[in-house]
Amino acid sequence: MNNKSNNKNNLKDSEILGKVLFTEEVIQKRVGEIGQSITEDYDGEDILLISVLRGGIIFLTDLIRAVDLTLSIDFMSISTYGFEDSATGVVRITKDLEDPIENKNVIIVEDIIDTGLTISYLLRNLKARYPKSLDICTLIDRDVRRLADIDIKYKGFTVGEKYIVGYGLDYKQKYRNLKSIYELKTHLVKKDIESIKLDSTYQGT
Ligand code: 5GP
């Protein structure tokens, strides 16, 4: 057992974490506002929220509690190939939805949309299953690197180039449990981030 005051593994003390971009309070407030908008927009309707594993789950679990409608949730998991330089985004579904979405009001809930290639693939794939409606909700929009033309109905925040972690977003599968969103000190992890993005078997979220 580590002595608490001597704990070198303390999450927020990690030397790779840079400044806080969005605090827990700011995130919770924004999630509440998005939940309110969804509640108003789909008044009188059932909705299905689909989260893309794994990054989107923290946002999803907070968001559904901010929505005052009858709703269901489902999950997909994907792998992305040719992540940065492919014009189309080659994506493989590694875990599909449990239930059909035909005639349902579907909202895809994402952690971050960057190039937009992943979500474009998902949109094409889900549209072919004849949902009643299909919308996108992302906590973070990084539009400076966008390659695909997509219409985001609900977004929490916009960020610039820097790689971010926390509130579901990982760095090497860690830091998802941070309650705030942080920038990474990219000079410490630059090579790693480049290799994450160029890895041919990079797990989309
Ligand atoms: P896109 O296809 O839009 O380029 O890819 C979006 C996916 O890339 C996100 O779901 C996420 O997994 C990953 N991603 C992009 N930027 C970041 C970032 O700054 N931090 C983290 N943790 N993941 C990111």
The domain of 134 spans 4-198
Give the residue whose CA is nearest to atom 5 of ligand 1.
114
Catalytic residue (choose from 62, 114, 135, 170): 114
For residue 104, CA distances in Å to 70, 108, 179 come to: 12, 12, 32
Q: Which helix (DSSP H) or strand (DSSP E) does residue 138 occupy?
A: strand 133-141
Residue 203 lies in a domain: no
170-203: string of b/e by CB count within 10 Å (b at 16+)? bbeeebbebebbbbbbeeebeeeeeebeeeeebb
Residue 98 lies in a domain: yes
Q: Higher pLDDT residue, 202 or 135?
A: 135
Rounded to whole angstroms, the Cα distance separating 69 from 134 reads 17
Residue 139 lies in a domain: yes
* Ligand 1 proximity of 51 Cβ (cutoff 6 Å): no
* Ligand 1 proximity of 35 Cβ (cutoff 6 Å): no
pLDDT grade for 82, boundaries at 50, 70 and 90: low
Using only C-alpha atoms, what is the Rg of the chain?
17
- Structure confidence at residue 92 (pLDDT): 87
Phi, psi (5° rounding) for residue 56? -80, -5
- Structure confidence at residue 13 (pLDDT): 76
Rounded to the nearest angstrom, the distance between the alpha carbon of 142 and the centre of ligand 1 is: 9
Residue 204 lies in a domain: no
pLDDT grade for 197, boundaries at 50, 70 and 90: low
pLDDT grade for 201, boundaries at 50, 70 and 90: very low
Rounded to the nearest angstrom, the distance between the alpha carbon of 102 and the centre of ligand 1 is: 28
The answer to whether 114 is a known catalytic residue is yes
Residue 162 sits in a domain whose CATH number is 3.40.50.2020
Residue type, 101: I
Whether the predicted pLDDT of 152 surpasses 70: yes
Residue 58 lies in a domain: yes
Residue 205 lies in a domain: no
Give the residue whose CA is nearest to atom 10 of ligand 1.
205
Residue 80 lies in a domain: yes
Q: What is the mean pLDDT of the chain?
A: 88
Whether the predicted pLDDT of 88 surpasses 60: no
The pLDDT tens digits of the residues spanning 115-144 come to 999 999 999 999 999 999 999 999 999 999
Rounded to whole angstroms, the Cα distance separating 45 from 55 reads 27
Max intra-chain CA distance, the chain:
56
Overall number of domains in the chain: 1
Residue 67 lies in a domain: yes
* Ligand 1 proximity of 156 Cβ (cutoff 6 Å): no
Rounded to the nearest angstrom, the distance between the alpha carbon of 49 and the centre of ligand 1 is: 19
Q: Which pair of structure tokens corresponds to residue 20?
A: 């806080």
